[in-house]
Structure 1
């Protein structure tokens, strides 16, 4: 049992016997343990050198307290194990990197079915530690955005989400309310007119994107799982480029919107403005927010008056210049 502390079998038996007896001489210990006297003497000499026992009289020994004799040994042993574990982790990473260089299948894994893609969407979000990047295009190939419960759970764990929505997606029923709820939970959302591809990137380590959606008139979803590589770096750069040009979507249920400076708009007005600048039609905004078209048009006119704008384009330009969004 004390092998982890560096004791061999005889040394452990000798030490236990001394702990029980308090102190003993070499012949007495040898007789009690059924060991040779010379063998016992060698064990005691080594144990005295290593601080496990002390000689209280010529040929007579007493044990050093276990917490003093064995505690530091265990600490040193644990430190050695920790260093070894770190070395193994480093070697494992080097092995995986080498394997990826030698085998392209480890860099890009093809997912042949919708079910496999859905499982990876779930897994990457459940295992995300820091940030998830998302391209959300109109329509859905795996599940509606409203069914992505994994995002809500990840946001609850403190995982950051940056999501770029395609304008047409924001026009789908229920999407405005869904986006607003995500923003309320911490999602950073932006919108663009069109996106080049659907994509998710987890912790800048793994990207997931569909490759082929339609084959021979049949819906045959094929996707790729892209791991650490130059291709992954290119996909991350693509996301960041789209993020820079996308329009922020702002919403705050309690009316507190961060970093708005001297913006004269309240939270509801900022949310409406962000949807307008993202290109969502007034009719769609009215339907999504449960308002009449006349009410939305009246609020848009109010925004234009505040900005001194004659058109929606001028309103968008003024909002950008004044950093309202």
Structure 2
């Protein structure tokens, strides 16, 4: 019964299909085509007429014609789809109420222990696939479950409108390709900031579920398997959300994926800061080391230092600290 989703019974679908094939026909014509009795088919056609799928033919008593399938069925399918969406929303809300009540009675429902890199990777992917509004992250150096640049679920979530706010610790950028991977994320819509160090790894979806380590664990490939916790709505989750927001407020924005922008008023007319200059300044202000910046941007240390001095001259700064202050004040980054 392919048309059951449109609200048709098996007999109604058979009668409607037969009438579509006939174009015009009587109850006897339809009955002969489907192998049913004429009296039974009169009832089926009456039901189809009541649903707006067939109509009587003017000046031809006892004859029926089908309403065009797209006109007759598409509105019914849309109504069913909308009803299913409403039911799905109600189901999600009821499920959350149920889980909330269960969690109050059973602590095992509040925290789920995740052991092993593969299990952790699957959980993080699932968390992102289910996110509707926002994902927030703490990204420390040396990955445990997801190498830098391998989190394809982020791009899928960004594409469907989920906001990503990510705080990276400085040492993260010492990893191979780290700056380029962050730049790719920023271009896709990620909002990135950096701090000198982070207390733990953390991912939170919609403020309703978080994944964080239970023990420090070692980097991927080490002898120790990571052990993490999936924390659901609770005071502990509220504390993790507050911890993220505290670090986010004090973190330095990273602008590593944008295009070119005009230099500040102090620059000579016609001068511009290239996207590479903006990226360099953003990383410099974020405290990333010269070695990491040069490696990630494909520059020699000498070339990097020369460009930093040129930017210092452009800003009228005597020190890198003054350059960083001017860059932030003049909106270079």
Global fold match (TM > 0.5):
yes
Query: Please, which of 223, 227, 235 is the counterpart of residue 228 of structure 2?
Result: 223
Q: 1:272: Cα distance to partner?
A: 1.7
Match in the other structure for 1:305: 313
State the partner residue of 1:119: 122
1:19-54 Cα deviation digits (max 9, x unpaired):
7995589xxx9xx9767xxx7799599679948675
Structure whose CA Rg is larger: 1
Structure 2 unaligned residues grouped into runs of 5+: 268-272
What is the match of residue 243 of structure 1?
248
Bigger drift between 303-312 and 76-85 goes to 76-85
Distance change (3 Å), C-alpha of 1:226 and 1:56? same
How far residue 177 of structure 1 moved from its aligned partner, in angstroms, is: 3.9
TM-score normalised over the length of structure 1? 0.70
**1:200-247 deviation line (CA, Å, top 9, x unaligned):** 2345554322222349xx734221223456655654454344333222
Alignment of 1:285-296 (within 5 A): 285-296=293-304
Q: Distance in 2 between matches of 1:149 and 1:40?
A: 57
Describe the superposition over 1:136-166 as per-residue Cα deviations: whole angstroms up to 9, x where unpaired. 1122222431444554666677765433210
State yes or no: 1:208 paired with 2:211.
Answer: yes
Tell me if the contact between 2:140 and 2:198 (Cα under 8 Å) persists in the aligned partners. Answer: yes
| 1:68 CA drift (Å) | 7.5
TM-aligned CA deviation for residue 111 of structure 1 = 1.0
Q: What's 1:65 paired with?
A: 65
Please list the CA deviations of residues 161-215 of structure 1 after superposition, one character each: whole Å capped at 9, or x if unmatched: 4332101222344433443444455543321111232122345554322222349
For residue 145 of structure 2, give the secondary structure of its aligned residue in structure 1.
Answer: coil
- Please give the residue correspondences for 1:92-241 in structure 2 after superposition, counting only pairs within 5 Å: 92-104=91-103, 105-125=108-128, 132-151=135-154, 161-202=164-205, 206-214=209-217, 219-227=224-232, 232=237, 235-241=240-246
Q: For 1:105-138, what per-residue CA distance to the aligned partner results, in whole angstroms no more than 9, with x for missing partners?
A: 4453221222210222334445666654321112
8 Å contact from structure 1 (residues 189, 248) kept in 2: yes
3-state SS of paired residue (1:318): helix
Deviation at 1:276, TM superposition (A): 1.6
Contact 1:24 1:61 (8 Å CA) reproduced: no
Cα separation, partners in 2 of 1:295 and 1:128, compared to 1, 3 Å: same
Unaligned runs of 5+ in 1: none
Greater CA drift, 118-127 or 227-236: 227-236
Task: Please report how far the alpha carbon of residue 67 of structure 1 lies from its aligned counterpart in structure 2 after TM superposition.
Answer: 0.8
Q: Is the 8 A contact 1:53 1:61 kept in 2?
A: no
CA contact (8 A) 2:15 2:41 kept: no
Closer, same or farther in 2 for the Cα pair 1:63/1:240, shift >3 Å?
farther
CA distance in 2, matches of 1:114, 1:153: 22
Superposed, 1:260-279 pairs within 5 Å as 265-279=273-287
The alpha carbon displacement at 1:278 in A equals: 1.1
Closer, same or farther in 2 for the Cα pair 1:6/1:202, shift >3 Å? closer
Q: Displacement of 1:13 after TM fit?
A: 7.2
**Distance in 2, Cα, partners of 1:77 & 1:5:** 7
- Contact 2:11 / 2:44 at 8 angstroms: preserved in 1? no
